[in-house]
């Protein structure tokens, strides 16, 4: 992915130097379990993390700085892409999200954020929360390396913001509050797969607008989608996959919906809620 030397986003809130402030306690745990993990990409990586990856803070390294620059450029690309898509396909104006960079731990209106929660979008403040150390976890422990795999993660989270902009996210959450656990999980899968599809749209449009995609990039994104499928994560944690507990979709579903968005570039192709099958 060609990203160096390109425009970065101004919508970055960098908390890495301040440490962010950890929120702990019973209330936050409940919110994390239901809101972050259930609704958004906040994949529970606890079984895959060692104790050293759960702590917080520390010196901002050169690698941290480069990762922050990478995220800023990727976020800027999402702003340009979705601004154009909203205008051309909907005749509407896209309002960008803010992305919070933190190191180790921080707080959000949706609960605490740490390595165990993974990146997530919080609709209460319309911000994406990301510790770039997740990219290391993605590569070393989840088997999804490459800069475009990391870009896919950012694009997926912005996909949830797009859902929020379109009113899809709030409607889905309203339905979840009235649903059984099994039905709520099924709705969550639809939310996540649509965000995967939206990230596919971003990949297609980013390549068309900026020519940033290099050979092998798409394969990196598809592989990342596969590696964070519910079935694969449960298997890697030494568990037997239980489909009724899935909240993000299988590896096959996640990669296929990303590809669907990439192939069409159209919002209409990402209607997971109206699809005959996922």
d(CA 1, CA 148): 6
Q: What total number of domains does the chain contain?
A: 1
CB 272 within 8 A of CB 197: yes
Q: Is residue 278 in a domain?
A: no
What pLDDT, in 10s, does the model give residues 236-267?
A: 888 888 888 899 999 999 999 999 999 999 99
pLDDT for res 147: 86
63 is a domain residue = yes
Residue 5 within any structural domain of the chain: no
Domain that holds residue 16: 12-270
Look at residue 58 and tell me if it is in a domain. Answer: yes
Question: What is the rounded average pLDDT of the residues 79-103?
Answer: 96
What distance in Å separates the CA atoms of residue 5 and residue 92, rounded to the nearest whole number?
Answer: 30
pTM: 0.85
Assign 31 a pLDDT band (cuts: 50, 70, 90): very low
How far apart (Å, rounded) are the C-alpha atoms in residues 142 and 165? 31
Residue 39, pLDDT above cutoff 80: no
pLDDT in tens, 119-132: 999 999 999 999 98
Position 57 scores a pLDDT of 56
> With 80 as the cut, is the pLDDT of residue 179 above it?
yes
**pLDDT tens-digit series, residues 142-154:** 888 788 889 999 9
Asked whether residue 277 is assigned to any structural domain, the reply reads no
Residue 189 in this model has a pLDDT that exceeds 60: yes
In a domain, 210, yes or no: yes
């Amino acid at each position: 992915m060609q990203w160096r030397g390109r425009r970065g986003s101004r919508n970055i809130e960098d908390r890495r130097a301040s440490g962010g402030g950890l929120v702990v306690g019973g209330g936050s745990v409940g919110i994390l379990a239901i809101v972050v993990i259930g609704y958004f990409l906040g994949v529970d990586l606890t079984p895959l993390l060692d104790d050293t990856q759960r702590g917080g803070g520390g010196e901002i390294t050169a690698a941290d700085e480069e990762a922050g620059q990478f995220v800023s450029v990727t976020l800027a690309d999402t702003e340009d892409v979705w601004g154009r898509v909203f205008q051309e396909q909907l005749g509407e104006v896209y309002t960008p999200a803010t992305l919070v960079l933190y190191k180790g731990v921080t707080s959000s209106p949706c609960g605490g954020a740490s390595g165990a929660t993974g990146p997530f979008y919080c609709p209460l403040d319309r911000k994406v929360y990301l510790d770039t150390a997740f990219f290391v976890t993605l590569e070393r422990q989840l088997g999804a390396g490459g800069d475009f795999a990391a870009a896919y993660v950012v694009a997926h989270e912005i996909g949830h913001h797009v859902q929020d902009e379109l009113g899809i996210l709030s409607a889905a959450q309203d339905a979840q509050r009235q649903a059984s656990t099994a039905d709520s999980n099924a709705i969550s899968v639809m939310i996540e797969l649509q965000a995967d599809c939206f990230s596919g749209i971003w990949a297609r449009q980013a390549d068309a607008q900026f020519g940033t995609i290099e050979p092998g990039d798409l394969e990196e994104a598809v592989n990342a989608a596969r590696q964070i499928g519910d079935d694969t994560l449960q298997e890697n944690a030494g568990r037997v996959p239980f489909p009724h507990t899935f909240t993000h979709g299988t590896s096959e579903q996640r990669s296929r919906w990303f590809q669907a968005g990439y192939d069409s570039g159209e919002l209409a192709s990402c209607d997971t809620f109206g699809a005959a099958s996922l």
